[in-house]
């Protein structure tokens, strides 16, 4: 093989390698951009499943409000047929049902309530609002939950806001 033939073969090989490099680079860029779009879309819609799970209980909450408004309107029209205790009991039952549905929706996503009452105060799970003297409970025991706390797996989402017993 002559020197000119070797040079021509090297140039042909160089051009082929350059073409493969350009295609590989373009493929890499396209893949990177597609992955970036996928990550952005996942981030944008990451709450979609929890929102879907919460919509059912929210619909029921609005139904309970509508039922209470209807009962109030009917009571104003004809007070003799109104039974306020029955209306309150029905509304309470509806609201309790909705609360259970919300708890179930949160549990589906591994968000579970922290149960603090009767347990020793733990700053990792509880936020003390105040301490009250108590002869019935040992000092440092949570005696009342003011706001429910939640955890997800091993992480606290929100600590329980509690009232803690202290010595008399």
The winner for highest mean pLDDT among 69-73, 93-97, 125-129 is 125-129
Question: Are both 129 and 88 inside the same structural domain?
Answer: no
pLDDT tens per residue, range 60-70: 888 888 888 88
Say yes or no to pLDDT of 80 above 80: no
Cβ atoms of 142 and 149 within 8 Å: the answer is no
Contacts of 56 (CB under 8 A, 6+ apart): 101, 105
Measured in whole angstroms, the distance separating CA 78 from the mean position of its chain's CA atoms is 44
Q: Classify residue 144: in a domain, yes or no.
A: yes
Using left for φ > 0, alpha for ψ between -120 and 50, and beta otherwise, residue 140 falls in left
Question: Are both 143 and 160 inside the same structural domain?
Answer: yes
Distances 101 to 32, 89, 105 between C-alpha atoms, Å? 41, 18, 6
Q: Classify residue 59: in a domain, yes or no.
A: yes
Question: Are both 137 and 100 inside the same structural domain?
Answer: no
Q: Which of these, 90, 165, 100, lies nearest to 135 by C-alpha position?
A: 165
pLDDT tens per residue, range 108-157: 999 999 999 999 999 999 999 999 998 899 999 999 999 999 999 999 99
CA distance 1 to 39: 54
pLDDT tens per residue, range 5-30: 999 999 999 999 999 999 999 999 99
Higher pLDDT, 129 or 74: 129
Question: Are both 53 and 80 inside the same structural domain?
Answer: yes
pTM: 0.68
Say yes or no to pLDDT of 71 above 90: no
pLDDT of residue 86: 78
Say yes or no to pLDDT of 79 above 80: no
CA distance 157 to 151: 5
Number of domains in the chain: 2
Say yes or no to pLDDT of 84 above 80: no
**Which DSSP string corresponds to 5-58?**
HHHHHHHHHHHHHHHHHHHHHHHHHHHHHHHHHHHHHHHHTTTHHHHHHHHHHH
Question: Are both 64 and 102 inside the same structural domain?
Answer: yes
pLDDT of residue 85: 74
pLDDT of residue 163: 95
Question: Are both 118 and 69 inside the same structural domain?
Answer: no
pLDDT of residue 33: 96
**CATH code for position 155:** 2.30.22.10
The domain of 140 spans 113-166
Q: Classify residue 37: in a domain, yes or no.
A: no
CA atoms within 13 A on the CB side of 29: 6
Q: What φ, ψ does residue 124 adopt, rounded to 5°?
A: -75, -25
Question: Are both 103 and 52 inside the same structural domain?
Answer: yes
DSSP state of 152: E
Considering 109, 131, 157, which residue would you say is the last residue of a domain?
A: 109
pLDDT of residue 27: 96
Say yes or no to pLDDT of 88 above 90: no
CA distance 118 to 132: 14
């Amino acid at each position: 093989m002559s020197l000119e033939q070797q040079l021509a073969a090297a140039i042909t090989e160089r051009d082929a390698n350059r073409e493969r490099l350009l295609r590989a680079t373009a493929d890499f860029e396209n893949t990177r951009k597609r992955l970036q779009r996928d990550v952005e879309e996942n981030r944008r819609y990451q709450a979609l499943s929890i929102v879907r799970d919460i919509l059912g209980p929210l619909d029921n909450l609005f139904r309970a409000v509508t039922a209470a408004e209807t009962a109030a309107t009917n009571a104003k029209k004809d007070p003799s047929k109104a039974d306020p205790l029955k209306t309150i009991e029905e509304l309470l039952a509806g609201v309790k049902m909705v609360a259970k549905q919300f708890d179930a929706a949160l549990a589906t996503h591994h968000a579970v309530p922290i149960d603090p009452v009767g347990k020793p105060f733990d700053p990792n799970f509880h936020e003390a609002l105040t301490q009250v003297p108590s002869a019935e409970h040992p000092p440092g025991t949570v005696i009342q939950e003011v706001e429910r706390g939640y955890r997800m797996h091993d992480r606290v989402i929100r600590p329980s806001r509690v009232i803690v017993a202290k010595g008399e």
